[in-house]
Amino acid sequence: MAPMRVGCPAILIALLAGLAAPISVKGDQIDDYIKAQMRQLHIPGASLAIVRDGHIAKAQGYGFANLELQASARKDTVYEIGSTSKQFTAAAIMMLVEEDKVRLEDPITKYFTEAPQRWRGITIRHLLTHTSGIQNHVAVPHWLDVFRTNLAFETTPSRDELLKMFFKLPLEFQAGETWAYDNTGYYLLGIIIEKASGKSYWQFLDERIFKPLGMRATRNTDPQPIVPNRASGYEWKNNRFENRPVLLPAIAFSAGSFLSTAEDMAKWDAALYSEKLLKKSSLEQMWSAQVTKDGAALPFNYGFGWFVDSYHGHRLVQHSGGTPGFSSVIYRFLNDKITIIILTNHGDRVLDQLAVDLAGIDLPVLKRPEANPDPDPATTSRLKDVMSGLLTEKYESASLTPEMRSFLGTASGKALWKWIADHGAVGSFVFSDREDRGDGQVLRYKVSLGGNSYWFSVLVTKDRKIAQVYWW
């Protein structure tokens, strides 16, 4: 997607129970799949880690970390990971909550005394869950241009300048009314961490997370230091690769200005099975889907720094990330203790579906059905029409929940659906499976966009309103 995932492709499937065959048995199949996907998606280099119960079962690099030098990607290659790092910011906040230095219901004006009056009802919880209503500055066209092209250190806005600009951003909805992906909120959380801890954001994370876990390669994206094994970022344009700029820490900060490796992310994954960093109760809060202030489903299932979902009762938490030259994803299947981590040096690539497919290779029971007999062709036809309408901004609003309608009117909502629309018009729309979800139902489809196939899931309420449409 666009830099830092201005929208949010994100979740689908969680593992079914069962004993997994050793990765080594299926290593060739996994390697063949990764290489085929890299060719199809024009990905120069990638690093993969498959982790079982906190132990690396497979870690490997593919392709090139640097095309000009023909330097191979390895399991310890360093990539920008973008918004995948939001989970670190959320974890840092929860550490401060456990120490009674921060409360989730604290108004953010406690930390930003010069903030506009309209921010008074916004809490730290709202920032964590993308429900604050503050416009996502990265989704605003002017900011997107700055974000993508600002390479001159002397022209990078200062922290104070950025804050003043944030204070001018409109509220797109009242706090807690709906959901819209918001990098601005996670930038503000980094400042709150500094004010509450008395340390710089990077010092706090280094002392409390990275050093204790031995995550030696994880740091900010500052382009000046020499970072061994740092990959170069690329984008495929006009049938050729082009170099992409480094994401400057001052621009993204705690919303996604991180470097890491597949091996380091595996160490982070292992720590989340214990209470080394956070109490289990804190982790459960982070991995619990939030709702509106009226108890309605949000347009995306999100906790604190993680998208959350389930597949026929099996839990999944995950996040993806994108910067101008890099894409990343971590998928954690909680019940089954398996994690898929993929880091690449191509911007604007959806890796969520690769993560799900790799889980299906490791555990064949997870393989998504290409098609099943459609129990309700009329609903499928209606949903296809709605999706076509969403892509052209000519949808029937009465078919959507109020929360979904509100989301589509935000800068992030518009950016997400424009990005999806850029993949092409809706072609085939094939039923895959369904499951009950509360009073509603999740329907899953394999959809052709511009001749390429993708997976979509749709949450339909009991009164047949569309509450969620998500891609993976």
Q: What's the confidence (pLDDT) of residue 156?
A: 72
328 burial type by CB count under 10 A (0-12 exposed, 13-18 middle, 19+ buried): buried
Q: What's the confidence (pLDDT) of residue 148?
A: 57
Q: What's the confidence (pLDDT) of residue 370?
A: 83
Q: What's the confidence (pLDDT) of residue 312?
A: 74
Of 281, 220, 280, the C-alpha closest to 88 is 220
Model confidence at 80: pLDDT above 60: yes
Q: What's the confidence (pLDDT) of residue 155?
A: 63
Model confidence at 91: pLDDT above 60: yes
Model confidence at 311: pLDDT above 70: yes
Q: What's the confidence (pLDDT) of residue 152?
A: 44
Q: What's the confidence (pLDDT) of residue 363?
A: 72
Q: What's the confidence (pLDDT) of residue 3?
A: 38
Q: How far apart, in whole angstroms, are the C-alpha atoms of residue 82 and residue 78? A: 12
Q: What's the confidence (pLDDT) of residue 139?
A: 82
Model confidence at 21: pLDDT above 60: no
pLDDT (tens digit per residue) in 158-213: 899 899 999 999 999 999 999 999 999 999 999 999 999 999 999 999 999 999 99
* Tally of CB atoms within 10 A around 280: 10
Q: What's the confidence (pLDDT) of residue 4?
A: 45
Query: Could you tell me the pLDDT band of residue 22, with boundaries at 50, 70 and 90?
Result: very low
Model confidence at 343: pLDDT above 90: yes
pLDDT, mean over the chain:
90
Residue type, 160: D
Q: What's the confidence (pLDDT) of residue 63?
A: 99
Residue 245: both structure tokens together: 């700029």
Of 154, 136, 156, the C-alpha closest to 146 is 156
Residue 408: both structure tokens together: 């589509």
Q: 1-5, 340-344, 456-460 — which one is most confidently predicted on average?
A: 340-344
pLDDT (tens digit per residue) in 417-472: 988 999 899 999 999 999 998 889 999 999 999 888 888 999 999 999 999 998 76
Question: Looking at residues 29-52, what average pLDDT do you find?
Answer: 96
**Full set of structural domains in the chain with CATH:** 1-367 (3.40.710.10), 377-471 (3.10.450.590)
Residues 6+ apart with CB under 8 A from 57: 22, 23, 50, 51
pLDDT (tens digit per residue) in 121-148: 999 999 999 999 999 998 877 665 665 5
